[in-house]
Amino acid sequence: MVGTLRRLRVTRMIKSSLIHSAIVSAIASSALAFGLPDYPLVPGEAIIRTANPKALQQTLSALSQQFAGVGVIDDIDGRPVYLISYALTPKQTYHQVEAMLLNLVAQGTLTWAEMNYVGQTGEGNTDSLWLSGVGVNSGSYLDQYAVPLLGINDAHARSRGAGVVVSVIDTGIDASHAIFDGRISPQGASFVPKSPGWGDIAQGVDSDNDGLIDEQMGHGTFVAGLIHLVAPDAMILSARALDSDGRGNCFRIAQAVAWSVDRGAHVVNMSLGETYHSKALEDMVLEASTRGVIVTGAAGNRNTADPREFPACDPNAFGVSAFDWNDHKASFSNFEDQLDFAAPGDSDLVNGVPNMARCIIGPVPGNNYAIWEGTSFANAFVSGTAALIRAQRPDWPGSVVRPPQVRNRVYSVLVNSGVPFVPQNPDHEGLLGRVRVSASGAVLENPIAPPLGDVNADGAVGAPDIAMVLSSWGPAPTFVRADLNADGAVDARDLTILLTNWGQ
């Protein structure tokens, strides 16, 4: 998520043409001049959670007495949560629909009800785009300032994230990018209506009416690239809930969280936000935490504490603010006493020219690399570090650490190993999280992680692991350790990965 760039007060990084490899400068403008971005209602849609099996039909029947077009659009698989439609006459308002639904809640027919609202990347609501064509490549990606600052290379001596699945709820991921080297699961899913692919694709529509088309295409790939930088052996799932303008809505985002949990994700990265505190999202984040899944959320990019962004400020998620190369608050980062951690997210441009030693660099579609900044990317670094920790503890959850305790265990590791930052940020004490995360410090708190292919987590890849792969042979709709490529099946491809890593 992005706000203003240091020294230049920029809210837009203009995406260069990858075809012509043009070098493009940032255009200066003030976000404050146009007011804070809002998160509008999705017309004709509401979300309900029913309290009993008959409640859905009772609700639809009651609404149909006053409103046209009432029906079920979609549901969250395995949960009594429904997206319903309604149509209004010129004399009706959505407040009347809301009032009727709240009355059904009061009667006990519904557990809760709410209108459906838009959510999006912070970069999208501040019109911040990635900057490419400035000489960035795989070398600058691997050597960016966040790597030594977080101690990423040192951390890899103890954990590389093997055996962990990270779900990225975003604009999709370009799995063909060379940097990923097969670590993007082919079992992604799209929750964007009428757009079934889970890749990071251009849709050619200005869905947020800001005059820019597809301005957030690449966001999910960039986020996934930073997670991969921290945890290169983790598998990444693409849960595409945002369109190419970076826009989604409460229901689709909550639906993506539920799918990620059901698919077996250990970490769910949400580099997005909504200022409306959605009950649907709150319920799914709570369920994730209860089932031992870590959820991370970006704080937002408007340099404000109000309005809060969710899920960053949800008590069951990790909220992440953005820092620069000196552990100072990034000028754009939101601040709030509900946040948990800080991580690098700032980039330095002077008159549109990047200082490469002070930039966040990641992959973008087309096998290219770019510069970006925002709390979205700080959030990705925290997700990657959480993946390193989870890889070290394949016994979590288990008989000793129960699923609801996993979040607190990971939280404690990150806090205990993190870097204090109050002296650098005295004006925001208690508002940027507890510590700036340290990957190298976090991995010292637990045993060395099993290597890739070590299915039984005994510290080596050998015959017992082959036996476990063979015993798990077949479909794996929920992730199991024997599904080494997280493609939803244990088969010859997993056996090949195991043999490639034999003896490690």
| pLDDT tens digit sequence for 359-372 | 999 999 999 999 99
CA atoms within a 13 Å half-sphere pointing along the CA-CB vector of 281: 33
**Mean pLDDT value of segment 228-252:** 96
- The answer to whether residue 8 scores a pLDDT higher than 70 is no
Residue 164 sits in the same domain as residue 72: no
Output 20 or 417, whichever has higher pLDDT: 417
Q: Cα separations (Å) of 336 from 30, 43, 65, 76, 361?
A: 22, 30, 44, 31, 26
- Please give the pLDDT value at position 467: 97
pLDDT surpassing 70 at residue 489: yes
Instruction: Indicate the residue among 74, 95, 120 that finishes a domain.
Output: 120
User: Please, which pLDDT band fits residue 18 given cuts at 50, 70 and 90?
Assistant: very low
Do 144 and 162 sit in the same domain of this protein? yes
**What is the Cα–Cα distance from 129 to 277, expressed in whole angstroms?**
26
Catalytic site residue from 132, 278, 289, 376: 376
Q: Using CB atoms within 10 Å of the CB of residue 35, give its burial: 0 to 12 exposed, 13 to 18 middle, 19+ buried.
A: exposed
Confidence of residue 199 (pLDDT cuts 50, 70, 90): very high
Contact indicator for 321, 342 with CB cutoff of 8 Å? yes
Residue 216 and residue 231 share a domain:
yes
The per-residue pLDDT for range 161-171, each reduced to its tens digit, is 999 999 999 99
Helix axes 463-471, 492-500, angle to 10 degrees: 170
Segment 370-400, tens digit of pLDDT: 999 999 999 999 999 999 999 999 999 999 9
Per-residue pLDDT, averaged over 128-150, amounts to 89
Distance CA 60, CA 64 (A): 6
Domain encompassing residue 484: 463-500
Q: What is the CATH number of the domain that holds 113?
A: 3.30.70.260
What is the tens place of the pLDDT at every residue in 404-454? 999 999 999 999 999 999 888 999 999 999 999 999 999 999 999 999 999
Residue 319 in tokens: 């909220």
What is the model's pLDDT at position 2? 36
C-alpha torsion angle, residues 260, 501, 224, 389 (rounded to 10): 70
Is residue 455 one of the residues assigned to a domain? no
Q: pLDDT value at position 127?
A: 59
Helix (H, G, I), strand (E, B) or coil at 128: coil
Residue 157's SS3 state is: coil
**CA gap 20, 220 in Å, rounded:** 23
454 belongs to the catalytic site: no
Residue 5 covered by a domain: no
Going by their DSSP bridges, the two strands 189-190 and 68-75 should be labelled as unpaired
Residues in CB range of 106: below 8 A, 6 or more apart = none
CB 241 within 8 A of CB 193: no
Q: Please give the single-letter amino acid code of residue 40.
A: P
pTM of the model: 0.92
- How far apart are alpha carbons 365 and 101 in whole angstroms? 43
Do 93 and 64 share a domain, yes or no?
A: yes
Asked whether residue 111 falls in the same domain as residue 250, the answer is no
How do residues 91-122 score in pLDDT, each as one tens digit?
A: 999 999 999 999 999 999 999 999 999 987 86
| Tokens, residue 101 | 């639904």
Residue with tokens 């890849």: 461
Domain annotation covers residue 431: yes
The confidence score (pLDDT) of residue 126 equals 62
271 and 134 belong to one structural domain: yes
Least confident segment among 33-37, 285-289, 466-470: 33-37
Q: Is the pLDDT of residue 477 over 70?
A: yes
Output 208 or 235, whichever has higher pLDDT.
235
For residues 276-302, average pLDDT: 96
Torsion angle of the four alpha carbons 81, 83, 84, 88, in this order, in degrees rounded to the nearest 10: 140
Strand, coil or helix: 419: strand
Report, as an integer, the average pLDDT of 275-298. Answer: 97
Q: What span, in angstroms and rounded, lies between the C-alpha atoms of 295 and 204?
A: 31
464 and 456 in contact (C-beta within 8 Å)? yes
In a domain, 90, yes or no: yes
Residues 478 and 396 in one domain: no
Query: Are 238 and 360 within one domain?
Result: yes
CB atoms within 10 A of CB 414: 27
Using pLDDT thresholds of 50, 70 and 90, give the confidence band for residue 350: confident
pLDDT in tens, 46-90: 999 999 999 999 999 999 999 999 999 999 999 999 999 999 999
Highest mean pLDDT among 30-34, 77-81, 123-127: 77-81
Percent of the chain with pLDDT over 70: 91
316, pLDDT greater than 70: yes
Domain count, the chain: 3
Query: What mean pLDDT value characterizes the chain?
Result: 90
**Using an 8 Å Cβ cutoff, are 299 and 321 in contact?**
yes
| Burial of residue 30 (number of CB atoms within 10 Å: 0-12, 13-18, 19+) | exposed
Domain boundary residue, one of 67, 101, 120: 120
**Whether 105 and 125 share a structural domain:** no
Q: Rounded to a whole number, what is the largest CA-CA distance in the chain?
A: 72
DSSP string, 267-308: EEEE--BBSS--HHHHHHHHHHHHTT-EEEEE--SSS-SSS-
Residues 213 and 346 in one domain: yes
pLDDT score for 210: 76
Decide if pLDDT at 15 tops 80.
Answer: no
Please report whether residue 451 resides in a domain: no
Q: Give the E-state strand segments of 195-351 in sequence order.
A: 235-240, 247-249, 267-270, 294-298, 318-323, 341-344, 349-350
Shared domain check, 186 and 56? no
**Which of 3-17, 176-190, 487-501 shows the lowest per-residue confidence on average (mean pLDDT)?**
3-17
- If pLDDT is split at 50, 70 and 90, which confidence band does 335 have? very high
At residue 500, φ and ψ (nearest 5 deg) are -60, -30
CATH number, domain with residue 344: 3.40.50.200
Answer whether residue 453 is part of any domain: no
Q: Is the pLDDT of residue 7 over 50?
A: no
39 pLDDT more than 70? no
Our answer to whether residue 219 is catalytic in this structure is: yes
The predicted structure's pLDDT at residue 121: 80
Set 156, 177, 219, 428: catalytic member: 219
* Residue 376 is among the residues annotated as catalytic for this protein: yes
The answer to whether residue 457 is domain-embedded is: no
Report yes or no on 63 lying in a domain: yes
| One domain, residues 183 and 73 | no
pLDDT at 13 over 50: no
Which of 120, 155, 171 is the C-terminal boundary of a domain? 120
Q: What is the pLDDT of residue 150?
A: 98
What three-state secondary structure class fits 354?
Answer: strand
What's the pLDDT at 20?
27
